[in-house]
Amino acid sequence: MHPSLVKSGTSAIPVHAVSAKDARAWLARQARSGLVTASGFAGAAGALAALPDARGGIAAWVLGLGDSKDAFALAAAAEKVPAGTYRLGDVPEFCGGANAALAWLMGGYGFDRYKKKTAKAARLVLPPGVDGSEISRIAENLFLARDLVNTPANDMGPAELEQAARALARRHGAKVSVVSGVALAKNYPLIAAVGMGSPRAPRLIELTWGKGRLVTLVGKGVCFDTGGLDLKPSSAMLTMKKDMGGAACVLAVAGMVMGTKLNLRLRVLIAAVENSVSGGAMRPGDVFKSRKGLTVEIGNTDAEGRLVLADALADADDQKPELMIDVATLTGAARAATGMELPPFFTDDEKLANDLVRVGTAVQDPLWRLPLWRGYEDTLTSRVADLNNNPAYSYAGAITAALFLNRFVSKTKSWAHLDIPAWIDRPKPGRPIGGEANGARAIYTLLKERYGR
């Protein structure tokens, strides 16, 4: 169990949480709350106040919830209280229990690889009925994904992403194989094409684990995206270290699945590349034959994510998995459609769609379905190849990208594509600005429902 969670604490200090509308009435019921009232505490979101005891010490803390919409609001308390042992006091159901435990761990997260932060030993007594090992497993893999995304590209290239996959595999007895060099160019030509411009060799990373029905996760691992010869403006490149967020997300899910020992055969494929600029980089107008045999004209070198995913999806599809989910930071159009906090997904499987929305809502990791609208299929045509990676249509970019990927999936029983930001742009308690594994907890919850022992 994570060291920030403990099973018991006889002298643990209560942490209460109240909404703004209930704060005055709640304080009126508390002994010695006059100082809190005098300090101006009124239940504003994130506000934290100490309730004194008879000896002038701290009897409890109270956290403001504002309008009571954040299930992980308790992270704010974990971020602010001094070292010590705490327990839940009066806390609304929506942010209590498992949500409170996960929020507490999230409140302790910090990316400290380059700038060391002072660690506070603020521990929470595990709420009744909450599985501390499960919450710890979820948090630790969520933090793994955040760390991978937050690491700058000079320290997180294709080789380093491979090392991260190998480290995760070693912890769980999984196997890792890697295809690179001549073998990659022969068998995964689109992945090789995207990586041609970088001195950091592209590769396909495969992790396998377990027995049972086959579930395949595919992650986009573009460790940095300059846009290639269709160069991004500098402002758009500032966060492009996060373009391997799909790979980080599927590794997080894999860690959760393997740690829980779900009853399935897991296969993870990560197309790890850097889309760079050089005399060897792919060019607009180039044509490459994909692993599936479809030829692709490069209409725009900055639409590289769908290229690397296409070869990985074709490989995954050949094994006819029962379920395949790919995760990618694929389009700005997805961000325009649903923002940074509600990633869209695409599938033709109605049950899978309903399940993803349901479990995402249940675990506060929301997803929103967008349509695989076949009316846009003709936008993918090319005069010289089977497909063009730059649709001849200025709208519905997330949909046309999903339709492109769908051309490489034909044998799989059930497939979904998640277009995630892998980034937090508006900080909230336990969710600082930076990398995030959007959808990881939702996918894991789905797999646990379907393949739990």
Q: Tens digits of per-residue pLDDT, 328-374?
A: 999 999 999 999 999 999 999 999 999 999 999 999 999 999 999 99
pLDDT for the residue 240 = 98
Q: What percent of the chain has pLDDT over 70?
A: 100
Question: Domain residue spans in the chain?
Answer: 5-130, 136-451
Average pLDDT over residues 268-294: 98
d(CA 356, CA 46): 30
Q: How far apart are the first and last CA of the chain?
A: 21
pLDDT for the residue 33 = 78
Lowest-pLDDT choice from 20-34, 162-176, 185-199, 315-329: 20-34
Residues near 363 by Cβ (< 8 Å), separated by ≥ 6? 441, 442, 445
pLDDT for the residue 77 = 97
98 in Cβ contact with 57 (< 8 Å): no
Residues near 110 by Cβ (< 8 Å), separated by ≥ 6? 117, 432
Query: Exposure pattern of 139-175 as b/e (b: 16+ CB <10 Å)?
Result: bebbbbbbbbbbbebeebbbebbbebbeebbeebebe
Beta strands in 352-443 (DSSP E): 368-369, 387-388, 415-419, 423-424, 434-435
Q: What's the whole-model pTM score?
A: 0.97
pLDDT for the residue 415 = 98
Would you state the CATH architecture of domain 136-451? 3-Layer(aba) Sandwich (3.40)
Segment 174-203, tens digit of pLDDT: 999 999 999 999 999 999 999 999 999 999
Segment 37-81, tens digit of pLDDT: 778 899 999 999 999 888 888 999 999 999 989 999 999 999 999
Residue 92's pLDDT band, with cuts at 50, 70 and 90, is very high
d(CA 25, CA 185): 68
Q: Which CATH class is domain 5-130?
A: alpha beta
Segment 227-237, tens digit of pLDDT: 999 999 999 99
Residue 9's pLDDT band, with cuts at 50, 70 and 90, is confident
How far is CA 312 from each of CA 2, 185, 215, rounded to the nearest angstrom? Answer: 35, 13, 14
Average pLDDT, rounded, for the chain = 96
Lowest-pLDDT choice from 107-116, 133-142, 216-225, 252-261: 107-116
Report DSSP state, residue 126. P
CB hemisphere CA count around 126 (13 angstroms): 16
The answer on pLDDT for 377 being more than 90 is yes
Average pLDDT over residues 229-258: 98
Average pLDDT over residues 21-31: 90
Query: Catalytic site residues?
Result: 232, 306
